[in-house]
Each structure stands twice: as C-alpha cells, then as structure tokens.
Structure 1
Amino acid sequence: MTRALTGRQRWGLALAVLPLLLYAWTGRARLNDLRLYADTVHALLAGGVPNVDFRFEYPPYALLAFVPAGLAGGDAARFAFAFVLQLLLLDAALKWALLREEGARRWLPLVLYALAAWVESLHYLKRFDLVPAFLVFFALRGLAGGRMVLAGALLSAGVMTKLYPVVVLPAALAWALQRGQGRRFCGGLALGLLPLVPLSALWPWWRFASFHVERGLQVESVWASVLWGLHRLGWVAQVQWTQAVAAYELHGAAAEAVRGWSRWVWVAGSLAAAGVAARAVRRLAPGDVAGQARVALLPLLAFVALNPVLSPQYLVWLMGPAALALTRGRWGVPAAVFAAVLLTRLVYTTDTYKVGYAPLHLLVLNARNFLLLWSTVALMWELWRGEQTGSGALAVQ
C-alpha cells in the first residue's frame, strides 16, 4: 500500500537526494564511462549505424537512453552533466516511491538506499545501470498492484536496456498467470518490444552479444577473487592480472580453466534461482510489494554473485529490490545486500587495482563477495523452505 508524503517525509526526500546533487556538481569533471557514452550518442546523431560504423556493446534501448543528453549538444562534459541530471530525476522518483510504501520500517529502506547511492555515486551516477534498475523497481510495484500491462512493458524495456532483468521474467509471468492476467502481462511485454521493429531495420542491434561472449574472468568476481587469493598464497602459479578492453581480468591457464566452468555454474545457478522464485510467487498476496521484491531479488542475486563478469555497477541492480524487501518481512538478506554495496566502494580506494590487489583490499573484496553468496543461498533457502513446508516464509513478520 502507498500513501501521500507528509511534510517531514518531503524534507527527508530532499535530504536523501541532496548529497547526489552535490556530487554531480563537484565530481562533474570525472567523466569515466560517460565519455564513451557521449562519443557513442554523438556518432549516432551524426548518422552512424551502431555495430556497423561504431561498436556498441549494450542492448538497443541503452543507446536510446543516451539520446536526450546527447541532444543537449556540446562536448563530453556537457553530455555528462545532462545525463547525470537524467539519472538524478530517476533517483528522486525511486526514493519518492520508497517513502510512499507502508510498513513498520518506513525510513530504513530510504536511509540505506540513499547511503548506498551516495557511497557508490562513482558508479551510480557515472554508469547507466540506474536506468534498467529504475524500470525493474517500478515493474515490481506494478506486479504487486495488478498493473500487468505496465509491469510487462517495463520489464521488457529493462531487458532491452541491460539484459539482466530477463531473470525476473519467470517469476513475473508465474505471478501474472496465477492472477489470471497472463495475457495482459504478455501484452505488456510485447508493447515494450515494439520499438525493436523499426530499430531492427536500422541497425543490427543483436550484435552486442558478441562482445560479452569474449569477456574474461573479471578480477572483482567471486571466482577471480578466490583465484587471486590462492595465487597470492603461492598455491596457483599460472595467473596474470591483465588490463583488458573493458575491465581488469585474470588471464593464464588457471584463469581460463576457471572461466570455462564458472560460466556453467553461473547459468545453472541463475536458472535454478529463477525457478525457485517462480514457485515462490504462489505464497504472495496481492499488493505485497515487499514480497514481490524479495522473490525478484533471488534471481538477481544469483545472476550477480555467480557471474564471472562482476562489475561494480551491477550492485545497483540489487539496491531497489533490496530496499523494497526491507519495508516489511525479514531484513537479514536485504541488509547484507546493502552491506555488500558499501564494501564495494572500499575495493576501489587503492592503486593496486591496476596491478593486483594487495592483501587488505583482497580481504575486503572477498568479504563483499561472501555477502553476495551468503545472501543468494540464504534467500534461496528461505523461499524454497516456505514453498516446501508451507511455513509462510514469505509472510510478513
């Protein structure tokens, strides 16, 4: 259930958004990936064809998200300022929605979300991952509220922006079918995909997948952090810390072996989590936004935690569902997710990121990854046990 904001909550919302506004101004010179986004959208607006005239490594709607800021004209700095303003609008809308949720912990989700967004502002505002995260957040609220067409359209748009929301689809479809609204949900999915019809005639957008097939074992992943630790202990020799095209990766015979089977574990784990989530929706009640978020959080956690490519901005995907799940019910897993987000920032406070983590930062990275793994296993057990025993694990407690 939702309600109008009180005067006190309006002040709270303003305070939650203000730190990011200040960061957007003081950190405007730190372009990072925003320079790449600017070059890409300027090439598009100049008449270039993505993945023909220039490389674009994301699904097609991601490029559309850059167009409003690109129309502002000017250099990369102007694009960055305009794009960050776009993200700040999404951030404010998301926090506003959090404050409108009913629950015993009305302020805790907002406080943790605002803190995590501020601490992770380097990745929260300098990547476009907030766009698909925003779409998933409001899709979950739509599912809980019975707005199936809207939920379907938002989820399919999210998939065509950053692909990862695809793991939420099985549970969302199961919920829609359970409510007798499967056709409306699928209609929404189709509606969200309609722009692909003209886009497919203009550029081969599907070629983005070839870039990701080539990715190596990213150093921040669970697999790489353990392997690098074993290498530092002298137990594994054939490992090199290497700067690749998009990230730092582990190369060498041992890394290639781990990369091969870790992909299978990632796929199997993500599918298993999606299956458990799809079964768990049977215990949800209409209007239970926290329950919808908890169910969606499981496949998202598995997709992130087991991924051999684990970039820091991936944790932005988890923040919205974790915040919604915190409004009611068990708090351990959502709190652990936010702890992992906060630890992520500490991982990037050292120059050894470019040459190989020293023991202290490697310890922080492994602690972060342990929290992600523990959250995945704990939530899967919670949802599975609730489904199998009828113990009401998803019920509000």
Structure 2
Amino acid sequence: MTPSQTPPPTARVRIPAPAPAPDPGAFGRRTRYAALAASWLATRALMLHLLVTDRLGVGGVSGEVYVLYRRWYDQLTTGAFPFGDPTWQYPPGAGALLLTPLIFPFLTFFQAFTAVTVVCDALIARALVRAGARPGGSAAGAWLWVGGLPLLLHIPYARYDVQVTALAVGALLALRRRPGLGGVLAGLGALVKVWPLLTLIGGPRGRTTRRALLGALGSSAALLAVLALAFDHTLDFARQQGGRGLQIESLGGTVYQLAHLATGRPGRVVYRYGAMEFVGPYVSALTALSLALTGLAVCWLVFWRVRARRWTVSVPLDAALCAVLLFTVTSRVISPQYLVWLLGLAAVCLTSGRTSQRPVAQLLLPAAALSALAFPCLYGEVVAGTALGTTVMTARNALLLAAALVSCRRLWSSTVTASTTTVKDATISERR
C-alpha cells in the first residue's frame, strides 16, 4: 500500500459533558429572598415616613434623637460624658455608639443617626438570612425580624436599640463557629446596654464558652480603658441608676395602676430620670419586689445551667432569649424599645429548626403591636390611667409574662428533662 493509500487516522469525537441538573429549589430560594428584600424595603420606607412626620398619638418620638441624643452628642464631642444629667443612665459604650453619626459628616445629626440605624437593621436582616440558609436552618428568623420590627412603628429608628441588638445578634450567630468573636461582640454590647452579655449564658460547657467569656472580658475592658482615657466623667452614669423608681409601663406599674383603679383613685405620675414614674404609697415596696424578682431570675438561670444536660446548637440562642425575657418582665422599667431586643433574639432562635422558643416568638408579635399602641398612639390614656390605657398595658405585660414563663418551661424541658434517647438522637443528628 502506497503512502497515498494509507487510511486516515480515526477521528476523535469529543462527547460534551452532561450539563449539571438544575437545582429545583434555586428558583424558589431566589423568589423568597426577593420577597424578603422587597418586604424589608417597603416596611422600612413606611417606618422612615412615620419617623419624619411623627404625628401618631402624642408624637414626639423622634424628639429623642433631635433633642436628647443631640445634646449628649454635643457633650461627648467636647471630650466628656454627660455629668449631673439624670437622664444619662447608660454604660460608657453608649457614648461611643452615639458618636457613630460622625461617619457621615455631610449629613445632619438626625439624618446620620437614622442612616446608621437603618444600616444596622439591614445587617441584622442579612445575618439572619445567612444563618437560616445553613443546614438545619430556617428562614423564619429573617421573616420575623423583617415583619415584626414594623409592629413597633417608628420607635426602633428613634432609639439606638437596633444598634445594640445588632451586636447581640452577631454575638449569638458567631458563637458556634467563632466563639472568640462572639464574645467580643457580646462584650462590646454589654458596655453599651449590659443585656447583650446574657447572650453567653447558654454556651456549652468547655473551651468554647471560656473563649467567648475571655473575648467578652477583653473587648469590654479595652473599650472601657479607651473611653476612660479619652473622656471625662466616664462612670458618672452609675449615679443615676439607684434613684430610679417604678415606671408606668412596667409589670409592677401595671399592678399598681390596677390596684388604684379598683379603689377608684388613679396613681400619681411624675416625669423623672427620663421616664414617667409612679409616686405614692407602696411604690417603694413594689420597686423592691421587682429587684427581688430579678434576683430570683438570676438564681433560676444559674440553677438551670447547673442542671442542663442537653446542649444543641439552638440552646445558646434559646437561653439568651429566655434570660433577657426574665430580666425584662422583672425590671422596674419596660420601655417600648425593649421589644426590639426581644424580637431580635427571637428571630435568631427561629433561624434554627431545633429551637424550643417558637411559641415565645409568636407571643412577642402581639406584645410588640400593643407596645406601639400604648406608646405613642394611646400614651395620653396610659399616663392618665384610664380604663383603656390600663387595659392595653395589662394585655401587653400579660403577654410578656406569659412569654417569659413559656420560655422558661420550654428551655427547661428541652435541656434538663429530655429523655436519654432524645439526647442521643440529638447528638447523632448534630454530628451529621
């Protein structure tokens, strides 16, 4: 066979790799995320509108930012914390937070403060979405935050509790994988409003919790040292705490008002320490009882931690909500913005499919709506102690008390009284 007659080499045919099968749930996830983002934008636009107009009920909600926060901001920019000011009752970390509007020097203080608050709100929503997308997670937490916060109307944007809640949410979500970072965020939050330190109460025994506690101690000590060196009167806030009385929106205040309604004599209300408080007979006894109940709450939480045997990924989240609820309902003061904390912690709980606190979250939603109804919508009725105002406050505080009791019962049953078989199954599931 001549070279010209040599058969051509066999052609190599490339078979294309099969296209990856489409993820049937991808479209659904994108749709849900788009719906969540649209809901956030719509509700936040409404909240901002209410904040700017500020005409609901007694009004004056945004005055906290315009007047009080601005006055503190001006004082802080001189290098000193407010001193001799009975309304300044917050740890020094609050001063650092009130200086964050400096990030936006081209805006007025009110605009810059609102911008920081909205950004923190968006960060919380984003963190909840990511947590819910993890294996075993749930999008219910993000939906609770997006849909639940507007129940408080524009109050969250006229206070700095959204910023504090962002630190607490970040601490809880970081504890599992980066306990040191979780502790740092909790420590920073504690130096702003104390309660974020409770996010560490449910950490599992061992090195993880020790790292978190060391992170919290280190961050709070470092920030306190910086503020003490940079500002005067750093600890002046402590002088204003001891004289606080019984606020009309607290659980004890509701009991006092109900007693006065039963006798036909409304309680006398005065403005002190930045809040409306009751004065008169038995007020000091109810105040002391509130403090005693807070002490009992601490004892129960310690007893629970000693007895707890089952530690799943949801336990730190559930324990944080339970602890803050207990401290809220036993406090001498319950302001509407406290519901921002509770909604944020409940949302974190719902990011876990194993949470025991789902009924608690459901109770907090109507409690938030009633809080906004009481202030600012019907605050005149609440201050005057009318039947309508007292009914609203009684319903709100009854929901909070019920939520605290349900939270304690479900936390106890899920960690202490769970059967051995359930604990083994949960441990195997966690390892998977």
- TM-score bin (small chain): 0.7 to 0.9
Deviations 1:341-384 (A, max 9, x none): 12211112125246423212321211111111111112212222
Q: Secondary structure at the match of 1:311?
A: coil
Of residues 216, 233, 239, the one that matches 1:189 is 216
Deviations 1:47-82 (A, max 9, x none): 2411448673211121111213146458xx921111
Aligned mates of 2:227, 2:170 — CA distance in 1:
25
Q: Corresponding residue for 1:98?
A: 128
Instruction: Read off the aligned partner of 2:347 and give its amino acid letter.
Output: A
Of residues 36, 43, 48, the one that matches 1:13 is 36
Of residues 74, 88, 95, the one that matches 2:118 is 88
Q: Does 1:311 find its partner at 2:356?
A: no
Q: Secondary structure at the match of 1:346?
A: helix
1:293: how far off? 1.5
Instruction: Read off the aligned partner of 2:240 and give its amino acid letter.
Output: F
Structure 1: tracts of 5 or more residues without a match: none
Q: Corresponding residue for 1:134?
A: 166
Cα distance, 1:105–1:334 mapped onto 2, change above 3 Å: farther
Cα distance, 1:281–1:159 mapped onto 2, change above 3 Å: farther
Number of residue pairs aligned between Structure 1 and Structure 2: 381
Aligned mates of 1:341, 1:40 — CA distance in 2:
28
1:191: how far off? 3.3
Aligned mates of 1:323, 1:179 — CA distance in 2:
26
1:169: how far off? 3.6
Of residues 223, 245, 248, the one that matches 1:219 is 248
Deviations 1:293-341 (A, max 9, x none): 1111111000101111111111111112211222424421121122211
1:234: how far off? 1.1
Aligned mates of 1:280, 1:15 — CA distance in 2:
44
Of residues 259, 266, 274, the one that matches 1:230 is 259
Confirm or deny: 8 A CA contact 1:266 1:302 kept in the other structure. yes
Confirm or deny: 8 A CA contact 1:57 1:209 kept in the other structure. yes
Of residues 301, 322, 344, the one that matches 2:371 is 344
Aligned mates of 1:130, 1:279 — CA distance in 2:
32
Aligned mates of 2:410, 2:187 — CA distance in 1:
28
Q: Corresponding residue for 2:51?
A: 27
Q: Does 1:148 find its partner at 2:179?
A: yes
Cα distance, 1:71–1:89 mapped onto 2, change above 3 Å: closer
Q: Does 1:160 find its partner at 2:200?
A: no
Q: Secondary structure at the match of 2:282?
A: helix
Deviations 1:105-139 (A, max 9, x none): 84433333222211213221100011121111111
1:143: how far off? 1.4
1:257: how far off? 2.0
Q: Does 1:261 find its partner at 2:289?
A: yes
User: After the TM superposition, which of the residue ranges 64-73 and 130-139 deviates more from structure 2?
Assistant: 64-73
Confirm or deny: 8 A CA contact 2:201 2:316 kept in the other structure. no
Instruction: Read off the aligned partner of 2:111 and give its amino acid letter.
Output: F
| Two-structure CA RMSD over aligned residues (Å) | 2.9
Deviations 1:26-52 (A, max 9, x none): 52254221121122112222x241144
- Alignment of structure 1 residues 288-307 onto 2, 5 Å: 288=313, 290-307=314-331
- Greater gyration radius: 2
Q: Corresponding residue for 1:239?
A: 267
